[in-house]
Each structure stands twice: as structure tokens, then as C-alpha cells.
A and B are shown apart, each in its own frame.
Chain A
């Protein structure tokens, strides 16, 4: 398969290290959230650095898949949110931060954004040493419009490769839309049946920051908590609905699913509908109202009698 040019990642890594060290030394930030190498060949993991000497551990590679924005939400109490925090962000991750700012979860002045010129990351880290190719690249990267994150406090000068790839989600959504409802139901039934309710999709999602998830509640129980096909289907429908108009497509839900359920398809379908209905795209600017928390009097109501 066609390899993706990631030759700039070494220089990007060096720039991230230098910047993290500088801002930590100067005391501009209390911590930097970034990526560091792990034991397995080619692997990377999120890391929180508070000591300038540790900045040398930071890297950026195709295995740096995580959306680190999740660590800045109130759901992750383990990360101290004192003072300004530095965070390494790809374009897709920045969209999540933008959304969180719109929802009053974060303030721009509390963040020091270290942008990453990104040509793409791996779809899965089951085999982190895999070469980044048109085949192994994350499907979200095939539709990326943010190789260079905008409005960061620091952005390394490198220009990432932006290979033209087949738009995987668009193609798959079009395929599913062309099916009959019965066929689509059969498709999702098979997918959701695999779900084991590990909630990895929820836990990595920057927008799933509720203190108590509706789907964990049992009084009243709106969604079956058991990992049976019925409860699984309800869970994934509710999840997609709660993310509609907020999800900007970091696709972490899909990446982490141990059962390979194409969860981001639901999110992308919702995004597509919101674009068509209300000309709204999540993640580009800080809006205090999302498409489902606002309205106009002229909204389409052709479906209402």
C-alpha cells in the first residue's frame, strides 16, 4: 500500500520538546499533556509532564493517536487543572477543545496549545509498529481538513504531506444510505451485537464529561445497562444523539472499540445531517450555542404535520 510521508515527524517532535521545555522552565504552564514512547515497538502513550527535564520524553509519531483533550475535561479529575496547561494537539484534537470552550468547559487563556503539523496517524494501535500507509491510516485522516491546527500558541514550521485519499466515511455512509431500512437495521444489529459495554467509546470521548451518564442510571433506567443486543443498540443510539452537533470527528470512539464497531459512522452521519439542515459544522469556532441548543423560526418542518 502507498506509504504516507511522515518524515517531518522527527523535526516536529524536536520542536515540541523544545517548546515544552521552554514553557515549563519559564513557568508559563504548570503541566504539559503530550505523548511519549512506550515499551512496545513503535508505540506511544499519553503523558503529563510537570518537570522541564521530562520534556525530552515527548514525541510525535503515527502511533500518537489519542485525543488528549479528554484529559482537560472535568470527567478526568486525576489531571490537576491548576494554572495554565500546555497540550499537544493535532488539528482534529483542537476541534474538540474548540467545542469544549464553546460549552464553557475550558477557557482559552488556561491553555497553551502546541500544535502538530500532522499527515495522519494509525487507525489502530493493535500493532503500533505498523507503517503508516493509505491502508493503515485512520479513516478520519482520509477526510482531514485540519492538517495544520489553526490558532495555536506554537506551531512547528514543518508542512505535512496531505495525500489525497479515498474519503472512507463519506463512501461508507453513502453505501448505507442506499440500503433499505431493513438492510441497515441488519447491518447495525450485527455490529451492535458485538458490543460488550466496556464504555471505552464514552470514556475517551472529550464530550462525554457528564458526572453521571444517563446510561449508568437505573432510576429511571432509560437504557438497559446489560450488554445484550437490545441494550447495546439503545446505548449507541443515545450516544450518537448526545454527540450530534458537538462531535467534531476525532474518531477516538471508533479507534478504541475493542470490538471494531464503526462508531464514528454514526457521528459523521449526524454531522452530515446538521450541515445539510442547519449549515453547522462543529469544531471551527467557539460558539456558545450549538445547532441543537439554538433555533431559527424558519427551520425546516416538512416532516411535521
Chain B
């Protein structure tokens, strides 16, 4: 279905959703940092900046409770978190790189174990993508086969038009329902041309060749030159729309507490640290190798997909300037 919506009507739509108790998550400023966060009013939404953290946290939170326990005398009672209590959500203004990573994550969260926490949020969320008009030289969506107009992952996709407003296209029932529930705010598509889209400058990677090289080079001296300088923080994984490792910890006292699931990162030395004291990834280059391998080989082996959507966030935040686009590009040319 193709429609048109003016900026004013889009704001009206969001305000109506908020008033109706739907959680509307969109890019907004939080003390000077752009983040995807629940809006209290449509006026908070910003569209000109890529949020610092990706949209994955709408499905895979930074930290969430998965059960609580209580002990009284000898009796221990455990209460599970009921995913039915997750709020209905509309995720708006999602950049194509963020939206495209979400169906990629479906694969791992619904593989042998069905992660109800992820899947229930996924069921309850409508994703409204927004074509991207600004890129910098860290952006490389086009290098991994996506584009600033990529609609993958979006239920409804908005393309900003010359003269204001957005062309809307639906890609799922959820997108159609959103329009059907508010028909007065949408009109027939008009002929205005789209605003000029972003133009990422990076050359397309030869992902097949990249994988072929990775298949053969688990041990290779170049890992040292790539990642000796890695300091072992989790910034790259935490801002990544596709990284999905988590850790489970119990916090509280022996009387009562909570089991929590929170983001983890393969860059941390503790990530593979055994209770025995042995650490199979004993040096930083081995940990960084896992990041590349997981994204461009392991995930491909298992699910036939690439675990990177080229948002460039890891390149921007890396404290020591590790540039995944440059690394993968170089591997593809080996």
C-alpha cells in the first residue's frame, strides 16, 4: 500500500498513539545525546541525527529482569516475568541500517531456543523506517548490500519528500493496520520527488570473498596488526544494531533478588574467561577476531546472513579508531 502523510499529520499520529497508551519510541535528545527513547510528545522526535545506540534495544534491552526470587524460611518462591506485560510499541524514525538488522536478529533469537523476551516485543512492535538523508564517512550500509532507502525490517517505510511530508509504503500487515487505524491522517500518494538520499562513499564489499578468506584464516598474523591496539571495551558491541550477546546475573541478597539479562561484548576479557582461570581468547586480537568472524563468517555459516548493517557506529565510537569498514574491505581484496 502506498500513501502520503504530511509532517503535521505524522506528529498527530504519534501524539494520538501516545495518548492511547502506546509506547512510541523514536530518536530524541537525552542530555545532548541522540537516543531511541519513548516519546512523551511528537515534538521531541528528531530526524536529522543517527541515534548513538541502535534500535535493537526496543527488542533486546540494555538490561532486563527475567525473574525474581524470594526466600522465606525454607520456602523459595520464584516469579517469572510475564512477557504479556510488555507494552505495545511503535518504533518510529528508524534508520534503514537499524531496521535491516532486526530481521537478522530474529534468526538467532528464534533458533533452537525461542527467546520469548525478544519475540514478544517483536510481535508487539510496529517498525516505521525512515529513508536516510545524511551520511558521513563512517557510514557503509551500501558496502554490505543495503542502502539509505533499504526497506528491510520496516513494517511501514517513510521517504521524505521535496516540499515536506513523507511517501509511505507498507511492507507488512502491521504497517497496513497502522494506516487502517488512522485513515484520516493519510492521503493518496503525490508526485513530489524524494529528498536527495544519503550517499555512503564506501565501495561494496565482496562478502563472498571476505567469508572465503575468513574460512581459511582463523590463525593469521594480520589479526595482530588489526587489533593489537584494541583496548578491550564493549563500546563497539553495545552501539551495534546486530551484536546480541548477553550475560545473565543474579543480583540481590539471599532473601530476595532478581535474575537479570544484560548486554555483553566479546571484546571483554571476561567474556570467555573460564572458572578455572583459563582463557581461550587470552589476547585482545583474538577477541577482536571473534567480532569479525561472528559478523562475516559464523552468522553466515549458521543463518546465511551477515551480522552487520553498515551503520558505522562502531567506527565512530571506537576509542582507538578501529575501522571495521577498512578491515573488511582489505580482507575482501586479499
Contact = CB atoms under 8 A, between A and B. Distances in A.
Contacts of B319: 66, 200, 203-204, 252, 255-256
Q: Which of A47, A70, A190, A226 has the most CB of B within 10 A?
A: A226
B33 A79 contact: no
B228 A79 contact: yes
B30 interface: yes
Contacts of A258: 52-53, 235, 238-239, 317
B171 interface: no
Given A39-B323, A194-B30, A203 B238 contact: no
A25 interface: no
A198 B322 contact: no
B47 interface: no
Given A71-B229, A258-B235, A46 B320 contact: yes
Interface stretch (B79-87, B99-107, B184-192, B258-266): B258-266
Interface stretch (A155-163, A216-224, A240-248, A263-271): A216-224
A136 interface: no
B326 A38 contact: yes
Nearest to A195: B62
A258 B316 CA distance: 9
Q: Which of A191, A197, A216 has the most CB of B within 10 A?
A: A197
Nearest to B35: A194
B93 to A, nearest CB: 19
Interface in A17-64: 38-41, 43-48
Given A78-B228, A226-B249, A252-B319, A200 B233 contact: yes
B320 A66 contact: yes
Contacts of B262: 197, 225-227
Contacts of B35: 194
A227 to B, nearest CB: 5
A76 B323 contact: no
B38 interface: no
Interface in B50-95: 52-53, 62-63
A47 B231 CA distance: 13
Contacts of B260: 226, 228
A275 B299 CA distance: 53
A228 B30 CA distance: 16
B321 A46 contact: yes
B233 A203 contact: yes
A260 B320 CA distance: 16
B32 A260 contact: yes
A198 B266 CA distance: 11
B137 A196 contact: no
B316 A38 contact: no
Q: Which of A70, A77, A125, A127 has the most CB of B within 10 A?
A: A125
B234 interface: yes
A284 interface: no
A207 to B, nearest CB: 14
B62 A196 contact: yes
Q: Which of A43, A70, A225, A259 has the most CB of B within 10 A?
A: A259
Interface of A: 38-41, 43-48, 66, 70-71, 76-79, 125-127, 129, 190-191, 194, 196-200, 202-204, 216, 218, 221, 224-228, 252, 255-256, 258-260
Given A198-B265, A200-B317, A256-B317, 7 more contacts: A48-B228, A78-B228, A194-B35, A197-B263, A221-B251, A228-B63, A258-B235
18 contacts: A38-B323, A39-B137, A45-B229, A46-B229, A71-B229, A76-B284, A78-B230, A78-B284, A126-B317, A127-B136, A191-B31, A194-B31, A198-B265, A200-B231, A225-B262, A252-B319, A256-B233, A259-B52
